[in-house]
Structure 1
C-alpha cells in the first residue's frame, strides 16, 4: 500500500471535511445543537455542548493515541472474500470499503506511546460495524504472534457488532483463534490492554475484548454480548437504567476503569511506564 494511502480520511462529515468546510455546522444526535465541525474535531470528537461521543474511525484512533508519525501498518493488503458464497456479500464488502476507505474492519501495526513501542489494533465501525470475519481474526492473530515473538505489549481498540454472519462458522472460529493467540502472548509475559468503545458487543466482547490484563472503556460505551432488546425479550423483564453501559459494567467488575477520550493517550502512557515497558 502506498504511504499516502495510509492517512486517507473517512468519508463522513466530521473527518473528511476540507479546511473550507471546517466552519460548517452539524447537528449533534444527542442534544440536537448545531456545532461547527472544527470545534468538534478540536474537542476530541466530543460534543462541547452535551459531551456526546462521536464515532471515530480506526485510523484516527491510532493517530490520537500514539506518538506522531510512529505508526507502521502491518498486513494492510489482506481482504475478505465470499468464502461461503453468501448472497450479496461481495456488494456489502465493496460498499464497506468505499465507506471506510479501508480494506478491512481492523487496522494493525506497531507504534510508540510516550516513546515506548507497542503493537496496536483498532477496529473500524465504518466497515460493516466492525464485524469480525476471517480476515479480522487473521490480522489480530498475526499481530499477537508478532508481539509475542518480539516481547511487545498489545493495545486493542474495540468496536464491533459481533461475528460477521456472511462468513458463518468461519467467523465464529475467529473467537477461539484470536483467544489462543492472546493466551500465548500472556503466557510469554506480554501486557495486553483493551480500550472498548461504543459498541463492543457479540463475539468480540465474548472473546479477545475481555481477555486483557487491563480493560478500559470510554464513557457511555455499550459493552455486552446480546443486545438489550434481545435480553429484554428473552427474560420478559424490564432492564435497569444504564444496562450494558460502561458505567454499569464497571460497577459489576467487568472493566477496570472508564477513561475520557481527552486523557486516553496520557493514561496509556502511564500504564506502560508503570509496567516497565521500554
Structure 2
C-alpha cells in the first residue's frame, strides 16, 4: 500500500513530432506536479514553454539513471509529485525509466500512466501487417556481427516485429534483414512520424534496400521498421535442422561463434555442434 505521505510518480507520454498530439491531461499533470524528470531538460524545454509549463526539472537519462534514482525517490518520499518524460513518445519504450518505476513500485509509491504517442504503435497501426501478435525489438546492436546474430535468433519469429533505427544505420540493417530473412520478406519503414517529412514505405526488404540505395536524401530523421513475421503455419511444421543452421552460420562467423549461435537457435548441444563444425572444417 502507498504511504499517505509519499507523492505520485506520473509516466507522461509526449508528442513524437506534432505538438497537437499532446493530450489535455498530460498538459494538466505537467502543470500541477511539483517537479519534472526529463530525459534531456534542454530537449523538453521547448515543449514545456509551448504549453506555458514552468516547473523545476531534473535530468534522468541512460547514463545517470542509477545516480538520479535516489534523488527522485527522495522527492517522492517528501510528498512531491514527479512527472517522468522522455525526449519523445512514451517513457521506458527504448528510453530510461525502468529502474525508477521498478523501485517506486517496490517501495509502495503510486505510479500513474498517462498514455499518449508511441512511435512503435503509430508505425504498426499504418504498416498493413498483422497486428494481433507483435514483438517490440527496439534498437538492434550497432556492430554488424552482433546485429546479424540477433536477427538470426528471430529467423522463425512468427509475430510482426518492430524495430527502432538511426538513419545512418538504416541501410545496413535492411541489408542484414534481407540476408537473414530473405529479400521477399515484407517490411515497412516509417520515417519522421507525425512530422512535416513523414513517409511510410511498404515493400519487400529487397525493394526497400534498392530504394534507399538510390534515395540517400531520405536517410534522415527517426525510423521505425515493421517487419513481417515468419509464416506461422510453416513455422509450426518446418523442422529446424541443426546442421543446416550451422552451415549458414559458418559462412559468416568464426567456428566458436557459429556453434554457440546454432545451439541457441536449434537447442542442440554445443559439443555435438562443435564436433560437426570441426568435421566440416576438415578437423
Query: Larger Cα Rg: Structure 1 or Structure 2?
Result: 2
TM-score with structure 1 setting the length: 0.25
* Higher normalized helix content (fraction of residues): 2
TM-score with structure 2 setting the length: 0.25
**Larger RCO (CA under 8 A, 6+ residues apart):** 2
